[in-house]
Amino acid sequence: MKKFYLQLWFFWALRVVLCSVISAAILSILITVVLYIKQGFVSLDQEVFQALYSIFSFWFMITLNITVLFALFRSVKYIFNRCHNGYSFKLLTCPKEKTYIEVIGYGDLVKFWRKWFMLLIWLSAVFMIIDFVFFAYYNIYLLYGVILVSGYFSFIFIGARCKQVRIVKC
C-alpha cells in the first residue's frame, strides 16, 4: 500500500507543479507582452529587457498563486481510475451503491474536491504550525512544499473521510 500512495502522490505532485508553473509562466508572458505593446514597442536594449524581466517576475509570483488552485482542482480528476502498484482510487456514484463512475468529469468531482481540499487545508495548517514552533520561518516556497507533503497524507486519509472513494485492486 505504501508504494501505491507514493506513486499516486508522485504523479499527482508532478502534475500540480507542472500545470501551475507552466500556466503561471504563460499568463505572466501574456501580461508582460501586453504591457510591452501598450508602451508602444519600445526598442529592446539591456534596460528594457531588465524591466520586462522584472515585470515577468512580479506577475509570475501572483499568477502562480492563482494557478496552483486551478492545478489542484484539475489534478484530482487524474488520481482516479489510474492503476498504481496494483491499486487505484475509484469514485462511487452513490456511497450506498457499489457502482463506480468510469468516465469522471469535473462535475462529478465537486463534492469530493471540497472534502479533499478542506482536508488538504487542515493538514497544511498542522504542518505550518509545526514549522512555526520549530523553525519560525515562512516563505511562499515553503507553503508550496507543505501543500505537496499534505497531499501525500490527504490521499491516505481520504478513504475514511469521503465515503464515495474506494481503493480497489486493478
Q: Write down the pTM of the prediction.
A: 0.87
Closest CA to 17 of 59, 64, 84: 64
What is the separation, in whole angstroms, between the first and last Cα of the chain? 13
Structural domain range at position 92: 2-169
Q: Which residue has the cell 469521503?
A: 162
Around Cβ 53, how many Cβ atoms within 10 Å?
11
| Percent of the chain residues topping a pLDDT of 70 | 99
What are the cell numbers at 70? 486551478
Mean pLDDT of 87-104: 83
Tens of pLDDT along 44-83?
A: 899 999 999 999 999 999 999 999 999 999 999 999 978 9
In a 10 Å sphere around its CB, with 0-12 CB exposed, 13-18 middle and 19+ buried, how is residue 106 labelled?
Answer: exposed
How many domains would you assign to the chain? 1
Task: Calculate the alpha carbon distances from 163 to 65, 81, 95, 157, 168 in Å.
Answer: 30, 17, 6, 11, 14
Q: What are the pLDDT digits (tens) for 28-37? A: 999 999 999 9
